[in-house]
Structure 1
């Protein structure tokens, strides 16, 4: 198991849409953690180039994250929302695609990486076996015990437990409006539930921005901590300027479908507050809002662009990735030692 071989239990969260770069993935891997390339929104050819670029920067293991495709959404479910947006913003054509899923599987089966992680669903047992045959571990993002059991039965090697605190898209298998009335479990709750129910290693994700939080996740049963938002201000990250500036401001985050049609956690701004009626229609809404988001970035308008970030976003430091990995590792060790010396001995 690759997790047992890492120099430090720090996993870079795959952040699609800009922040994820070969330079960032390589820097984390070179520091003893596990870097990831986010393949979401990339074609298979572009993914192949990013894998090649990462290999040129590191000989250490790294992973690739894929979006598992869902089914198309009927047009009548999102037509009214897109028409309303078009009266105020430039919009694109809402459409469905599978994010080049089949071609990416072909690429990774023929040119494997140590780890392939999956978000938005679980690959079929046959697809997982194909990746295993190529020499890759398969990690599956889960948000509940039910999803964890599906992933385990399909043959997954590791579960990535995504707590409610996590920035960006919810990585669960479904995205149903009727579930919005149920609070998604926070990371600590989810870790307890998963480790009690499923005998697979778990990587903790969601709101981890300090070494103390890394330590807490490990003590709660995780084999490693996946960190995303804390890396947004690293020079190696491809984070847009608007997001780099926004993460340091103490503005709350909100779960929203306004920008993509799928629930995602972002920093609160005018657009998401004014479009709480967004339908569950991913990736159709993602493509429809592409032009308005691009225009907002070009204008420097932080009120009309998605600012994906976790709940602890203000703790993101402006440090090179290697220094951040070292900082998190040192803080985690100190936190564990502090807990042992000042708390548990009192029992």
Structure 2
């Protein structure tokens, strides 16, 4: 395989640092631009945006930086089904929380439809340099259309089998998401909550299995983690949690503070857990009252499937963010959360780059 520098150039990356797409608002235009200007590569998680919102977000980014950025979408998903009994039970489980926040009583959520097809034209016209997918394979026609526009295509894998499927689908790089990663699990073969392979084991196995560059993701919070990932054969790394507490991050302040509190209190790394309670898909976040109350670990089907559960809890999460109620928020964060600090994104990127160089230099002198 070509040298890492050549692979970075092939992917259009100036450094091995990629800011993870964080659908839901964390990856604001200000954050993406700041990461770019500092030498990293910023991403927009656009799955929850409308086409008009994606177009506006891309315009906002381009007004702040001339450097390339990426757009991530959720791969096409089948329409979920839920019985009337399950729906009624799921609504009842969250009704008390709605009342506690002064919201009208919840009702059965309507299926919002799969957004992928409607977002593809806006993604293609966004000016993005990289298009990535999560939760599945990118359709062949979209891969072809993206590459015709000069975009690189990436996909998220949590197992070797998924990585091989993505390579077969024509991606230019595979994002190897370890079990430590915050937010939604990107798995799509088997149960994503069961495919919990740590990055230290997953990355080298995927590197050995595929012929395209591999991006390591999960639990990487500083230069030591980057150096370790590169030593395992990764071409670059994708980091999310480390950027959530940046000044520019778009999540509610109460979410930032919850992550920072984990750092201040030196909270154990096991204070994060996978949950389906907020969206219906397994995702890693800081444990809170909503997660503990709504989800029954003995009955993973006690919540609605994605995206119905996500639609059911969205008004609650929005109100909780406005009211500063962390106990009702999806506090997405990876197992490295206790290492988070409040800093501008530019300082984070600089520290990551210098920390990686210092680690490599130290190892070379051993």
Q: TM-score range by the shorter chain?
A: over 0.9
Cα distance in 1, alignment partners of residues 195 and 190 from structure 2: 13
Cα distance in 1, alignment partners of residues 45 and 115 from structure 2: 13
SS at match of 1:289: helix
Residue 189 in 1 paired to residue 201 in 2? yes
Q: Who is 2:28 aligned against?
A: 21
Residue 300 in 1 paired to residue 300 in 2? no
- 1:340 is displaced (CA, Å) by 2.1
Question: What do residues 109-128 of structure 1 show as CA deviations (whole Å, max 9, x unaligned)?
Answer: 34442100111111122221
| C-alpha spacing 1:69/1:279, structure 2 compared with 1 (3 Å) | farther
Contact 1:229 1:316 (C-alpha < 8 Å) held by counterparts: yes
Any stretches of 5+ residues in structure 1 without a counterpart? 343-347
Aligned to 1:286, which of 310, 320, 345? 310
Q: How does 1:8-47 map to 2 (within 5 A)?
A: 8-47=15-54
Any stretches of 5+ residues in structure 2 without a counterpart? 1-5, 99-105, 297-301
Cα distance in 2, alignment partners of residues 253 and 265 from structure 1: 6
Q: Who is 1:173 aligned against?
A: 188
Cα distance in 1, alignment partners of residues 107 and 133 from structure 2: 27
Question: What do residues 45-80 of structure 1 show as CA deviations (whole Å, max 9, x unaligned)?
Answer: 100011111111111111111111311221218414
Q: Who is 2:163 aligned against?
A: 148
- 1:293 is displaced (CA, Å) by 1.7
Q: How does 1:125-164 map to 2 (within 5 A)?
A: 125-164=140-179
Contact 2:72 2:133 (C-alpha < 8 Å) held by counterparts: yes
- 1:149 is displaced (CA, Å) by 1.0
| C-alpha spacing 1:267/1:86, structure 2 compared with 1 (3 Å) | closer
| C-alpha spacing 1:93/1:84, structure 2 compared with 1 (3 Å) | closer
Q: Who is 1:88 aligned against?
A: 96
| C-alpha spacing 1:324/1:149, structure 2 compared with 1 (3 Å) | same
Aligned to 2:256, which of 232, 244, 247? 244
- 1:174 is displaced (CA, Å) by 5.0
Contact 2:204 2:233 (C-alpha < 8 Å) held by counterparts: yes
Q: Who is 1:345 aligned against?
A: none
Q: Who is 2:131 aligned against?
A: 116
Q: Who is 2:102 aligned against?
A: none
Q: Who is 2:119 aligned against?
A: 104
Q: Who is 1:264 aligned against?
A: 283
SS at match of 2:147: helix
Q: Flag as ranges the 4+ runs of structure 1 deviating above 4 A.
A: none
Q: TM-score, normalised by structure 1?
A: 0.92
Q: Who is 1:62 aligned against?
A: 69
Q: Who is 1:3 aligned against?
A: 8
Cα distance in 2, alignment partners of residues 174 and 305 from structure 1: 28
Cα distance in 1, alignment partners of residues 59 and 68 from structure 2: 13
Cα distance in 2, alignment partners of residues 111 and 11 from structure 1: 18
The count of corresponding residues between Structure 1 and Structure 2 is 339
SS at match of 1:248: helix
Cα distance in 1, alignment partners of residues 79 and 312 from structure 2: 14
RMSD: 1.8
Residue 218 in 1 paired to residue 230 in 2? yes
- 1:160 is displaced (CA, Å) by 0.7
SS at match of 2:261: coil
Contact 2:158 2:195 (C-alpha < 8 Å) held by counterparts: no
Cα distance in 2, alignment partners of residues 43 and 26 from structure 1: 21
SS at match of 1:303: helix
Cα distance in 1, alignment partners of residues 107 and 76 from structure 2: 20
Cα distance in 2, alignment partners of residues 92 and 341 from structure 1: 63
In terms of mean alpha carbon deviation, does 183-192 or 292-301 score higher? 292-301
Q: Who is 1:233 aligned against?
A: 245
Q: TM-score, normalised by structure 2?
A: 0.88
